[in-house]
Amino acid sequence: MKLALFDYGAGNLHSLAKGLEGAGARVEITADWTEALASDALVLPGVGAFGQAAAALPQDRDRVREALEKGLPCLGICLGMQLLFESSEESVGTGIGLIPGTVRRLETSVVPQMGWNDVETSADPLFAGVDGLVAYYANSYVCDPADAADAIAWTEYDGVRFAAAVRRGRAWGVQFHPEKSSAAGRRILANFVSAVEEAR
């Protein structure tokens, strides 16, 4: 099984690649969309700014969105989750547009949110075996799906409640960083790898 870890050209992808490899996946870091979409799954990491990452998407966003709609498993992390939406208040740029909704600035007294926070999870297989999830966050923007059913987990920070995770088909997005979230985060990555295995 080969997972494509997409490289937007910003940040260190080592810890995420290591976490996925620890779950049994073979990880290829790539900036080539043809290679990425031909893999068994796509991982969109949480590094960089929305505009820069959106600029790294193919000019024809339909290629990516249609691959996800047809069942290509995908995990978007932090910024990667936000790219599943169409646009962000952070900067100019067009995302994949798989999930209808908005990405807005976190309206709290302290921004960004940095550190550990509780996550209220659903029964989604991504969270199998994870009870009382406390995850690591580093975000200034949050996602508001137009359809509440697309949200599969929630977090509250400084009185503001927002989607901690979303899902559409076999595409998941998490606002937190599982690769930095200790044993529970490693289990989430392993659950994603298991979902990819089932989809093959």
Taking only the tens place, the pLDDT of each residue in 94-121 is 999 999 999 999 999 999 999 999 999 9
Which pLDDT score, from 0 to 100, does residue 9 have?
A: 84
Average pLDDT value for residue range 172-179 = 98
Which pLDDT score, from 0 to 100, does residue 163 have?
A: 98
pLDDT tens profile 150-170: 999 999 999 999 999 999 999
Among residues 74, 78, 90, 143, which one is catalytic?
Answer: 78
Among residues 28, 90, 179, 198, which one is catalytic?
Answer: 179
Q: How far apart are CA 35 and CA 164, in angstroms?
A: 29
Which pLDDT score, from 0 to 100, does residue 75 have?
A: 98
- pLDDT-derived band at 179 (thresholds 50, 70, 90) equals very high
Which pLDDT score, from 0 to 100, does residue 10 have?
A: 76
Which pLDDT score, from 0 to 100, does residue 11 have?
A: 75
Q: pLDDT exceeding 90 applies to what percent of the chain?
A: 96
Average pLDDT value for residue range 144-150 = 97
Please give the mean pLDDT across all residues of the chain: 96
Which pLDDT score, from 0 to 100, does residue 12 have?
A: 77
Among residues 74, 86, 90, 177, which one is catalytic?
Answer: 177
In this structure, which topology does domain 2-199 adopt according to CATH? Rossmann fold (3.40.50)
Annotated catalytic, 177? yes
pLDDT tens profile 27-59: 999 999 999 999 999 999 998 899 999 999 999
